[in-house]
Structure 1
Amino acid sequence: MNEAKASTGAVIALGVTVVIWAFSWIVMKLVLQYAGPFDFSALRYSIGAVLLFVVLLVMRRPLAPPPLPATIVTGLAQTAAFQGLGQFALTAGGTGHVVLLAYAMPFWAVLLAWLLLGERPSRRHWIGLALAAIGLTCVIAPWHGLGNPVSTLFALIGGMCWALGTVTSKQMFQRHQPDPLTFTAWQMAFGAAGLGVVALLVPQRTIEWSPAFIAGLAYSVILATSLAWTLWLLVVRRLPTAVASVSSLAVPVLSVLMAWVVLQEKPAPSEWLGMGFIVAGLLAVSGVRLRRT
């Protein structure tokens, strides 16, 4: 019963995370009117880390860092590299395409989990991955070109780095069972430090502290960073890597739809077809988990 409740809670956490992150990409695109990509990312995660440490103090949760090597790798991979490269990719690429390229993460995560964690994908997982791969191919439409090659490359590398961070997080929970909130705070702090170094070295536009920028920063810090990353680590802890990773593909689907409404980036027919395949892939993978609980 407790295991079933934990699984149900993880599924709910995954759903909330998907919605928050989907809109986060719209916010990330909009704030580029007021700040450089690395300045914004460094601010976002520095404030987010401080906020999480305050929460740890208030809740009297453990403050000691988890084992440092895996914590640092996770922070540099899924916080610094994924978020920094993704934000930079948005400076030259459309929101929908950048999100979909970055969310090729599940393909890399399943492979890395197989190699590093011994989580061999089941037949259902492979079917879900295949359907999702077809969907991403339709949405990206490489036969029409991949747009700005720098944006495309950075988005793909960012997705690979997130996959590495997802697997190292899973490994951390399997071996050391750290407090999720403590682990989130420390990996975020290391990631923010990495982003801060990049922000100092890369020339960018001066930050315009407008109400719109402050609102975007607040959404990114409180919801998309502090809350959503904590929920994501809970999902990674309680669900198989393949299920968590492939289910996260719902984020780019929602982001494409939100970009249509907010940014007037209307999906092409091939994108609608691709999103249909992605949903089919999600159902295939989710079906495995539902029967196990």
Structure 2
Amino acid sequence: MSALDRLAPPLFIFIWATGYIVAKLAAPYADPLTFLCWRYAGVVALMLGLALAARARWPSPRQMAHLAVAGLGIQALYLGGVWVSIRQGLPAGTAALIVNLQPVLVAAMAPLIGERVSRRQWAGVALGLAGVVLVIWHKLTLGASFGPPLGLCAMALLAITGGTLYQKRFVPQFDLRTGQVVQFAAALAATLPLAALLEPMRIEWNPSVAIAMAWSVLVLTAGGISLMFYMLRHGRVTAVSSTMYLVPSVTALMAWLLFGETLGTQAIAGMAVTLLGVYLVVGKTAPR
């Protein structure tokens, strides 16, 4: 196992967890779809520059089509659904719980792409979900009044699950630079008309938004998405998706350190349960 194989999961978890911090920074000053359009455009410019400088190999037309479809799910529908649902009033804890059903769906659908999920791994998936519930329970709110935002968040869950499985099935190997140009260009093409139709496209360029945008483009996307794609290329999709169970725990620790949010014994216990669940799914002794 290479050094990157060992470092990729913890780096990905840390980077992915910062997404909620970024959203908190940008939310008061930018419409969600408008912010995402700027983010997608920034990623396209960055990755295109890197690809041209390195003379990276471009996907075939068929691969481009598959990458665009996967990108619509993983980027446009997932991020758009989560950001808009939270902006419409869905509590972040509820959104986090819905999105963290992804490993359950991935495990259930893994046989469609030829992966077998063992009983030990199913136990890990269940434990991981239980741990997530413990971590975010004090922020969890469910109610009929959140109908449309709940629907958007559910759409985001289905989109990232379907996009991840689709990419693993149809285009598992591609250059991360050129591939992301294709994916984020597709996401921008889908999101920009919706932003123009549904929002005043307000964005106030102040230090908070500038920091959030730079982090979103350079770290969350160029770093986090690239690491996720790398892990999908070199691992099983069930194991990769299960690492996302750890994101709420890391986010809770960050919020405690940066914003003074409460971190009780229940949340700490949930972190331990989640860690055990993820180990059961990805541990070396788990059946392959």
Question: TM-score normalized by structure 2?
Answer: 0.88
- Measured in 2, the distance between the counterparts of 1:291 and 1:120 equals 9
Partner of 1:241: 237
Cα deviation for residue 44 of structure 1 reads 0.6
Taking a change above 3 Å as real, the CA distance of residues 279 and 25 of structure 1, as seen in their structure-2 partners, is: same
Taking a change above 3 Å as real, the CA distance of residues 140 and 16 of structure 1, as seen in their structure-2 partners, is: closer
- Measured in 2, the distance between the counterparts of 1:141 and 1:20 equals 23
Cα deviation for residue 96 of structure 1 reads 4.3
- Measured in 1, the distance between the counterparts of 2:174 and 2:141 equals 44
Matched letter for residue 199 of structure 1? A
Matched, 1:20 2:18: no
Partner of 2:110: 113
Taking a change above 3 Å as real, the CA distance of residues 256 and 238 of structure 1, as seen in their structure-2 partners, is: same
Partner of 1:285: 281
Which deviations, in whole Å up to 9, do the C-alpha atoms of 1:240-285 show, x marking residues without a partner?
Answer: 1111110122112111222233344424554444333211101212
Partner of 2:67: 71
Check conservation: 1:132, 1:280, Cα contact below 8 A: yes
Check conservation: 1:173, 1:237, Cα contact below 8 A: no
- Measured in 1, the distance between the counterparts of 2:226 and 2:181 equals 9
SS of equivalent residue, structure 2 residue 33: helix
SS of equivalent residue, structure 1 residue 288: coil
2:54 counterpart (59, 62, 65): 59
Matched letter for residue 170 of structure 2? M
Taking a change above 3 Å as real, the CA distance of residues 173 and 117 of structure 1, as seen in their structure-2 partners, is: same
Partner of 1:103: 100
Matched, 1:42 2:37: yes
Partner of 2:153: 155
Which runs of 5 or more structure 2 residues have no equivalent in the other structure?
none
Task: Report the more deviating stretch, 281-290 or 217-226.
Answer: 281-290
- Measured in 1, the distance between the counterparts of 2:253 and 2:285 equals 27
Matched letter for residue 239 of structure 2? V
- Measured in 1, the distance between the counterparts of 2:200 and 2:262 equals 30
Which deviations, in whole Å up to 9, do the C-alpha atoms of 1:189-233 show, x marking residues without a partner?
Answer: 111221212211112462111122111101101110122211110
- Measured in 2, the distance between the counterparts of 1:96 and 1:259 equals 13
- Measured in 2, the distance between the counterparts of 1:195 and 1:215 equals 22
Task: Report the more deviating stretch, 207-216 or 269-278.
Answer: 269-278
- Measured in 2, the distance between the counterparts of 1:46 and 1:105 equals 27
Task: Report the more deviating stretch, 66-75 or 229-238.
Answer: 66-75
RMSD across aligned C-alpha pairs, in angstroms? 2.5
Between the two proteins, what is the percent identity of the paired residues?
A: 27
Matched, 1:29 2:24: yes
Taking a change above 3 Å as real, the CA distance of residues 145 and 19 of structure 1, as seen in their structure-2 partners, is: closer
